[in-house]
Amino acid sequence: MPRPSLALLVPLATALVASPSPAAAQEAKPPEPLQVGVAAPDFTLPGATRYGVLRAPIHLSDFKGKTVVLAFFYKARTKG
């Protein structure tokens, strides 16, 4: 069984980002950027492999104690 790749998970992250309502945009402050060396907050993304989307979502905490590399391919699946 193929193992899910975090590099394939990142393009799916855009599906989780929804544009906030105008009222929420006025009240919400942008998050503080993370400092170098600080642990990343736990997050959940839909998992994917080259064969399709996984049934269960992937949590960053699933990889505790392991090295995790997040790669962003901002032009993936585009004409650019």
Block means of pLDDT (10 residues each) for the chain, 80 residues, are 50 48 68 86 88 92 90 79
Per-residue pLDDT, 12: 47
Per-residue pLDDT, 66: 92
Phi, psi of 58 (to 5 degrees): -100, 130
Per-residue pLDDT, 14: 47
